[in-house]
Amino acid sequence: MSAELKTNEGSQIAENEAQLVTQRPSVDILENETEFLLLADMPAIDAKQLVVRLEKETLTLSGRSNIEGFAPVEYKRSFRVMKGLEPESVSAEYKQGVLSVHLPKPASSRPRRIQVQAG
């Protein structure tokens, strides 16, 4: 009887663990002279369930999908970002399963053209 109880307990634990799947979303990182753009594939999430957090030099993207009839999926991924990034300047939008995060570069890190003077 105790062996049967242990088996049942193990099944319940396995079922509970299978209910939440955690994934690292695939992310494309694009760069131009003024910003970095992160494009994270995070399908089937209500935009209200998405969290974009910038703390010191760590940017974290997270969210959870809850589609009826499917196991919930939790997405989470963190990135180290450059110093001097202003949290107020970061913006994000969610459209068709893709989270777009705009990270403007600080003015001090943007390339600038240096005037060459003739001797």
CATH number at residue 95: 2.60.40.790
pTM of the model: 0.74
Residue 4 lies in a domain: no
- Taking only the tens of pLDDT, the chain with its 119 residues reads 444 444 444 444 444 445 788 999 999 999 998 999 999 999 999 999 999 999 989 999 999 998 888 888 999 999 999 888 888 999 999 999 999 999 998 877 767 788 898 87
68-99: buried (b, 16+ CB within 10 Å) or exposed (e) per residue? eeeeebebebebebeeebeeeebebebeeeeb
Residue 26 lies in a domain: yes
**What is the pLDDT, as a whole number, of residue 18?**
53
Residue 117 lies in a domain: no
